[in-house]
Every structure is written in structure tokens, then in C-alpha cells.
Structure 1
């Protein structure tokens, strides 16, 4: 039996998955920052309206809603990672993209 390794094909796959991983990690971190910034601005606007006497806030319900939104974003990220192929190049690219994002 003779086994031949196609190194150029393997290198191409690692490169493609590495680039795909980098882009995915970068976009996910930017998306997480955007979602958290919008959530923070929303909560701050509610407290501003409360300080002006326009509305009253049930703080327990608000913090529970914030916790649910954060958990949704985190589980969505885990689902996306679980769907994508777990290739070494992708994992390294994702880590680098998330770090740079």
C-alpha cells in the first residue's frame, strides 16, 4: 500500500478555512460589541426617562431582560461555531479574528 499526501490541497484547505475563521471571528466580535453598545444605550435612555419622571422602571424585570438578551447572543455565537466545520485552520483563524476585532 502506498499513501500519497497532497500537501498543496491540504495547504489550500487550511488557508481557506483560516481566512474563513478569521473573518467569522472578526465579524462576531464586532457584532457582539454593537449589540452590547445598543443594549447599554437603551438601558441608559430608560434611566434618563425615569430621572425626568416620564416613566417608572421595574429594575428586576429590566435586568432579567438584559440577562436574557446577553445569553441569547452568547448561545447564538456558540451555535454558529458548532455549525461550522471544526478544522484546525478555521479555529486558529477564528481566534486571530476575534482577537483583532
Structure 2
């Protein structure tokens, strides 16, 4: 089988598309997640500081449930974008590479 015939194969095209989409989403989500965690950390540091100064009173249980809700929403979103991809193998490889770089 020549390289031209191999590139014309539909399975190879789907795998390549899955890798490209997976890499793009993995790279993007890695950086967005880092940004989100930094913002969340700054928010929590601000709350701790204001709470220690007696300026605000924080309901830590509610805050914990809110943070858990945000992370659960992120997890559900990640699960939903992986479902409709035809070439899940290629997507997984690309997503792992995107998260690495």
C-alpha cells in the first residue's frame, strides 16, 4: 500500500482529524484551567485576608460547595465534548499531547 493510498483511507483521515481537534482542545483547556485556578486562588486569598481582618464573614461550607460545583461543571463539559468525536482514539492521543505542551 502506497502512502497516497494510505492518506486516502477514511479511517486515517478521521484519526488525523481527531488528533488535531484533541490537541487543540487539550492545549486550550490546559491554559484556561491554569488561568481559572490562578483566579480562584487569588479570590480565596482575598477572602482569607478580609476574613482575618474582620471585614467580611465567610461561610466556608457554602464556598466549598460552590467550588465543587464549578469543578463538577468543568468535568461534565469535558465529558460532553469527548462524546461526539468520531475518532475517539485520535482525539485522546491529541488531547494528551495538547495537555503536555
Deviation of the 1:62 alpha carbon: 1.0
Q: How far apart are 1:76 and its partner, in Å?
A: 1.1
Count of residues in Structure 1 that have an aligned counterpart in Structure 2 = 95
For normalisation by structure 1, the TM-score amounts to 0.79
Do the aligned residues in 1 keep the contact of 2:22 with 2:98 (CA within 8 Å)? yes
**Does residue 28 of structure 1 match 2:29?**
yes
Runs of 5+ consecutive residues of structure 2 not aligned to the other structure = none
Describe how 1:68-83 pairs up with structure 2 within 5 A: 68-83=69-84
Q: How much does 1:12 deviate?
A: 4.0
Question: What CA RMSD, in Å, does the superposition of the two structures yield over aligned residues?
Answer: 1.8
TM-score by length of 2: 0.79
In structure 1, the gaps of 5 or more residues are 1-5
Q: Which moved more, 1:7-16 or 1:75-84?
A: 7-16
**Which residue does 1:44 correspond to in 2?**
45
